[in-house]
């Protein structure tokens, strides 16, 4: 084991955590988005932060500039926002907006100008953008409805690639993709896409896509599937898509355009928010104006677009026609006005934390399970679930098939299962546990076969440790940088006055929020290093 590297990484982390502990954030009343807020982007480029509990609206970034034509917004793990904008030219614009409101260009093209949606891959920070000005990728051919591709960019805007129905077809996938109006990630590999109206024979649908390859692996819900599951047939022209901690999907359906056969022209009473069970595809009505009125609520839906789920479980929907942000009770469908005067609001994203998170929900299933065989043992690795169910994950259990041998951890995402029979092929599934209980098992890993005298387990354990050390080093560096930023801002606030002092306080609040997230990432990385070190001891030292 490389004890020098491990000791150095742990010492650095210890010093950084000590530095974090002594920092006391100054009380501020700032415009930077806070945990529990929702962020809205308006078509004029203004970015707003809205407190879903009080309805207080604050401006994060002003109108115009790089975010002019703002149509979709997502939040990166570090706290910055990514805004996808429509432009007057031939290309779409991607812009990063810092917590202090600074706008920085990520990319201008090659995606088309009519952007629709944006999402951040949680595993590699890649930016995915849906658009409809180009029916399919440049150099590709029209397959299926072909009403819009999905572009992928590295976090710095480099290395763009394009996915469409032809991409999926080439890999043996489905070709059901229509205009990607909304996108949400399920894990680091898979995302769900809400496809818009595809003509009279192509009502909207939600389908699963491999974010890396572009292969469409299955339909999550359409009207036919929902009817077969005993649900309603509510899909017509889908808009924004959101995913709750429970896994339930919510989509906006807007029949206000495209000449719906039962209402031409349609009005706001023909728009609605629909819930989808992704396991069965069953659709159920959450809210339309009639259901809201019956529940004692307002009739506010006119031209809804974006939807998000707050930390407290409430739905928030942007309405383009009236410049409003609407709160909707997902149980009763009751609508209430949360904020107004937002210009032409389109995209919306909820910031995790704050509020009252629904309790009693178990974690989702871990993903990306892989295994490597040793002598009478196997080392298993996996990725965290896309949702923790609202309470922290307290442990994982790995189960081997056949035989049922298990291994557990208290949070680390690697474990060694011992007591296996050499020459027998095994697969492994992983479950996550929180205070509410144990969630569903992951998909099985590929089979591996333990072999007598194998040294693979030791080599793999070392590889896992080295990767964990590198992750810890990056996380520690991020914490260190934010500690310096916070300290600098606190010093400047002491002597600043007026608007400058308010701006600095806003930046400090954002930096402290980023520091909290970075510290949690570093602690998780430290746990992975310690667990990996134990595996090296078990696989290598014990066999020496």
Q: What is the pLDDT along the chain (544 residues), one digit of tens a residue?
A: 344 433 443 444 444 444 333 333 322 233 678 888 999 999 999 999 998 888 889 999 988 889 989 999 999 888 899 999 987 667 889 999 988 888 999 999 888 888 999 999 888 889 999 998 778 899 999 898 877 899 999 999 888 999 999 999 999 999 988 889 999 998 777 899 999 865 544 468 999 999 889 999 999 999 999 999 999 999 888 999 999 988 899 999 976 554 445 554 455 667 899 999 998 999 999 999 999 999 998 988 888 999 999 988 899 999 987 789 999 999 999 999 999 889 889 999 998 754 333 334 678 888 889 988 888 888 888 888 877 765 667 889 999 999 999 999 877 788 889 899 999 999 999 998 887 788 888 989 999 998 887 655 666 677 777 777 887 888 888 888 888 888 888 888 888 887 777 777 767 776 776 777 677 777 777 877 777 777 777 666 544 4
pLDDT for the residue 456? 56
Degrees, nearest 5: CA angle 232-237-238: 80
Which tokens go with 190?
């898979």
pLDDT for the residue 525? 76
pLDDT for the residue 117? 95
Look at residues 368, 382, 372, 366 and name the one whose alpha carbon lies nearest to residue 461: 372
pLDDT for the residue 33? 86
Determine the Cα–Cα distance for residues 91 and 157; give it in Å rounded to an integer.
14
Coil, strand or helix: which one is 101? coil
Q: Which strand (E) or helix (H) includes residue 429?
A: strand 427-434
Look at residues 75, 74, 49 and name the one whose alpha carbon lies nearest to residue 60: 49
Tell how many helices (H) and how many strands (E) occur in the chain. 6, 31
C-alpha separations of 488 from 150, 186, 481, 485 in Å = 41, 38, 11, 5
Degrees, nearest 5: CA angle 530-533-538: 130
pLDDT for the residue 97? 92
Look at residues 70, 89, 211, 208 and name the one whose alpha carbon lies nearest to residue 152: 211
pLDDT for the residue 361? 67
Look at residues 195, 175, 174 and name the one whose alpha carbon lies nearest to residue 183: 195
C-alpha separations of 521 from 78, 91, 289, 479, 498 in Å = 10, 36, 42, 9, 35
Q: 525: alpha, beta or left, given left = phi > 0 and alpha = psi -120 to 50? A: alpha
In residues, how long is the chain? 544
List the strands of the sheet with 70-75, edge to edge. 70-75, 81-85, 91-97, 103-112
Look at residues 149, 362, 162, 163 and name the one whose alpha carbon lies nearest to residue 247: 362
pLDDT for the residue 258? 47
pLDDT for the residue 455? 56
CB atoms within 10 A of CB 4: 8
**Distant-in-sequence, close-in-space partners of 34: CB < 8 Å, separation ≥ 6:** 49, 51, 351, 354, 509, 513
Max intra-chain CA distance, the chain:
78
Q: Give strand pairing partners of 39.
A: 49, 349
pLDDT for the residue 13? 42
DSSP track, 29-73 = --SS--TT-EEEEETTS-EEEE-TTT--EEEEE-SSGGGTTEEEE
pLDDT for the residue 26? 29
**Distant-in-sequence, close-in-space partners of 501: CB < 8 Å, separation ≥ 6:** 493
C-alpha separations of 248 from 179, 244, 279, 311, 389 in Å = 22, 5, 9, 14, 12
Which tokens go with 299?
């009739």
Q: Which strand (E) or helix (H) includes residue 458?
A: helix 456-495
Determine the Cα–Cα distance for residues 303 and 286; give it in Å rounded to an integer.
16
pLDDT for the residue 193? 95
Determine the Cα–Cα distance for residues 518 and 476; give it in Å rounded to an integer.
8
- For β-strands 335-339 and 324-328, DSSP reports them as antiparallel
Look at residues 457, 441, 458, 451 and name the one whose alpha carbon lies nearest to residue 399: 441
Which tokens go with 348?
């919306």
CB atoms within 10 A of CB 47: 25
> 267 near 301, Cβ under 8 Å?
no
Q: Give strand pairing partners of 252.
A: 273
């Amino acid at each position: 084991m490389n004890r020098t590297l491990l000791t150095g990484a742990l010492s650095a982390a210890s010093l950084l955590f000590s530095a974090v502990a002594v920092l006391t954030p100054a009380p501020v009343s700032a415009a930077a988005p806070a945990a529990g807020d929702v962020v809205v982007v308006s078509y004029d480029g203004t970015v707003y932060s809205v407190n879903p509990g009080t309805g207080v609206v604050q401006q994060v970034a002003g109108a115009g500039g790089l975010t002019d034509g703002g149509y979709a917004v997502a939040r990166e793990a570090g706290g910055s926002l990514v805004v996808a904008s429509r432009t007057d030219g031939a290309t779409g614009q991607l812009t990063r907006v810092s917590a202090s409101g600074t706008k920085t260009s990520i990319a201008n093209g090659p995606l088309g100008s009519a952007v629709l949606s944006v999402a951040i891959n949680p595993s590699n920070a890649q930016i995915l953008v849906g658009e409809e000005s180009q029916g399919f990728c440049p150099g590709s051919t029209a397959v299926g409805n072909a009403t819009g591709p999905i572009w992928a960019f590295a976090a710095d805007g480099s290395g763009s690639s394009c996915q469409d129905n032809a991409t999926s077809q080439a890999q043996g996938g489905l070709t059901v993709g229509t205009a990607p109006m909304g996108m949400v990630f399920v894990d680091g590999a898979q995302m769900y896409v809400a496809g818009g109206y595809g003509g009279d024979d192509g009502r909207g649908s939600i389908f699963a896509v491999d974010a890396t390859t572009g292969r469409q692996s299955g339909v999550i819900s359409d009207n036919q599937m929902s009817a077969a599951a005993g649900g309603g047939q509510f899909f017509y022209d889908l808009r924004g898509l959101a995913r709750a901690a429970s896994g339930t999907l919510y989509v906006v359906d807007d029949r206000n355009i495209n000449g719906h056969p039962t209402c031409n022209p349609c009005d706001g009473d023909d728009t609605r928010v629909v819930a989808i069970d992704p396991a069965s595809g069953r659709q159920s009505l959450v809210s339309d104006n009639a259901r809201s009125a019956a529940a004692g609520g307002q009739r506010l839906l006119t031209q809804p677009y974006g939807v998000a789920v707050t930390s407290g479980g409430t739905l928030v929907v942007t309405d383009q026609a009236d410049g409003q942000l609407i709160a909707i009770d997902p149980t009763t469908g009751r609508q209430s006005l949360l904020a107004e005067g937002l210009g032409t609001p389109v995209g919306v994203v909820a910031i995790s934390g704050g509020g009252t998170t629904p309790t009693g929900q178990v974690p989702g299933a871990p993903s990306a399970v892989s295994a490597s065989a040793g002598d009478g043992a196997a080392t298993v690795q996996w990725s965290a679930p896309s949702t923790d169910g609202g309470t922290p994950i307290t442990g994982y259990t790995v189960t081997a098939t056949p035989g049922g041998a298990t291994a557990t951890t208290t949070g680390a995402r690697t474990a060694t299962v011992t007591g296996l029979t050499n020459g027998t092929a095994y697969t492994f599934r992983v479950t996550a546990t929180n205070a509410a209980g144990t969630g569903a098992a992951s998909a099985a890993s590929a089979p591996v076969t333990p072999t007598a005298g194998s040294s693979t387990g030791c080599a793999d354990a070392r590889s896992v440790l080295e990767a964990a050390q590198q992750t810890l080093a990056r996380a520690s560096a991020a914490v260190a940088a934010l500690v310096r930023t916070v300290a600098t801002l606190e010093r400047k606030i002491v002597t600043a006055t007026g608007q400058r002092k308010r701006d600095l306080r806003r930046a400090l609040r954002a930096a402290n929020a980023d520091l909290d997230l970075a510290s949690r990432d570093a602690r998780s990385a430290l746990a992975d290093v310690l667990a990996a070190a134990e595996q090296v001891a078990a696989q290598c030292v014990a066999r020496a």
